[in-house]
Structure 1
């Protein structure tokens, strides 16, 4: 007799229900607020760094521009005819003018006013490297200028126009073949007075530095009795200058140019004062220049 299979009951096992996870609204808001605070802080730091770099660059540009102007002005003033500096200005433009020195000579004999001769005996015009200067009819010679009028005004007879230059060799001043190294320079007329140091200065033009419209321009011109205030033209030397110009060259705390008159003890001294500015940045430059040559 066949046995019947035994069927055991199947036990049902409970499957655990997985609990769903996620962010609550409060958590999301908290994260957003934290991220906002971090981003604001980072942007503030970045903005500060950018502003710091910008300010540094602005200052460096102003310093570079001011240094160039002061160096150029100082170098040119140092090579000017003594006491040739004059300053003029109004509320729109201020100019400093001087006469660049072409050559500094020593004379042995000087013709004076009302004398028959107008010929000066001058030591040969050459330097230690045998570079020769030959005065021409476009040049003037200045002797013992104690005021700027002596340089610019021919009626004071401190300056005379060159007529010719010759020597005792082949007659050409450029060949340096004079037996006693003394050449003869002829002038329109005699001079008003001699120089205690026997100095004679040759020149043919003027140079002006003018500040207007927050910029400085360089001008060149012939030697004239009246100083010119240039309101246009010239070569741009510097920008971003914020000096407040006075109504005249002698009135105004921020005038860019100032001159101390000469005396018998010293030459005139010239000072330059510039305030460079861009936005909130300011850089000030001030320097005094003394012309080393003496009358």
Structure 2
């Protein structure tokens, strides 16, 4: 009789056990590799978010009017510069007209003029409607039919000081950054207010999300010898875990009154 060959029950059990061990190791390896890739991707995404947010804040602050920075709690406010030139004469006989050196690019109407030296409070830069002070009434037009060209204001305005270098700035409406829970929001188009609003009217556009802890603003005002310096810091948190990415940036605001 011909003898038959095959596997014993013990051999089959051993093979099944070995295959189970190999499968378990393989699943763990794939799981850990996938988890590591996801963690690296999340870190890279937070790092990219940190770079984009800090660079956007820095670029806007570099165009802030010198000494217009105001900080209250977790809110930062400044006045953006739209254009600049040198004035020829400041004052009468026509207090609604300012002769200036021609702009490289004419500013939009509706913006305002600031002429500012040193002294006083940043709140003075936000005061409108009095007909006096460093901040003028809105610009009605730029009159290029005369030489030198003149800025035409909507109403008479008397500036309460001269710039050391006869500098004149055209500025837009204030901008604010305020923390709202885990969001950092950017507020604009809410107008000038003598006292800082916390936060300003409106919901604001989301500039950053997934914040943990407070956003910190630290400001060193400019002087005759140096520009102003603003430091800001915030921390981003992984929404699916506990990992955090701290962000810190320092911005120099040129002081050219």
With the shorter chain as reference, the TM-score category is: 0.7 to 0.9
Asked if 1:262 is matched to 2:222, the reply is yes
Q: Which residue of 1 aligns with 2:195?
A: 226
* Separation in structure 2 between the aligned mates of residue 98 and residue 73 of structure 1, nearest angstrom: 11
Deviation of the 1:271 alpha carbon = 1.4
Q: What are the within-5 Å matches in structure 2 for residues 75-94 of structure 1?
A: 75-89=59-73, 94=74
The alpha-carbon deviation at position 196 of structure 1 amounts to 0.7
Mapped contact 2:228–2:254 kept (Cα < 8 A): no
Instruction: Find the counterpart in structure 2 of residue 61 from structure 1.
Output: 45
Larger radius of gyration: 1
Distance in 2, matches of 1:36 and 1:133, equals 75
Partner of 2:150: 183
How far apart are residue 77 of structure 1 and its match?
0.9
Contact kept? 1:204, 1:222, Cα under 8 Å: no
Q: Determine if the alignment matches structure 1 residue 126 to structure 2 residue 103.
A: yes
Residue 206 of structure 2 corresponds to 236
Corresponding residue number in structure 1 for 2:181: 213
Equivalent position to 2:123, from 149, 166, 187: 149
In 2, Cα distance between the equivalents of 1:125 and 1:83?
A: 25
74-83 vs 279-288, greater mean Cα deviation = 279-288
Count, aligned residues: 249
Cα distance in structure 2, aligned partners of 1:126 and 1:191 = 20
**Partner in structure 2 of residue 10 of structure 1:** none
Say whether the 8 Å CA contact 1:55–1:281 is kept in structure 2.
Answer: no
Q: Secondary structure at the match of 2:87?
A: strand
Q: Assess, with a 3 A threshold, how the Cα gap between structure 1 residues 262 and 294 changes in structure 2: closer, same or farther.
A: same
Answering whether residue 83 of structure 2 is matched by residue 103 of structure 1, we say: yes
CA shift for structure 1 position 108: 2.0
TM-score (norm 2): 0.85
Alpha-carbon shift at residue 33 of structure 1 (Å): 1.6
Distance 1:163 1:139 in 2: 6
Tell me the distance in 1 between the aligned counterparts of 2:38 and 2:118: 50
C-alpha spacing 1:70/1:157, structure 2 compared with 1 (3 Å): same
Change (3 A) 1:291 1:120: farther
Q: Give the superposition deviation at 1:119.
A: 5.2
Change (3 A) 1:58 1:283: same
Q: Against the structure 1 CA distance between its residues 26 and 47, is the aligned structure 2 distance closer, same or farther, given a 3 Å change threshold?
A: same
Partner of 2:33: 49
Q: Matched residue of 1:61: which SS? A: helix
Match of 2:135 among 133, 136, 159: 159
Once the two structures are superposed, the pairs formed by residues 277-288 of structure 1 within 5 Å of their partners are: 277-278=237-238, 279-288=241-250
Q: State the shift of 1:153 in Å.
A: 3.3
The offset of 1:140, in angstroms, is 4.1
Contact 1:208–1:218 (Cα < 8 Å) also in 2: yes
TM-score, normalization by structure 1: 0.75
Shift of 1:71: 1.5
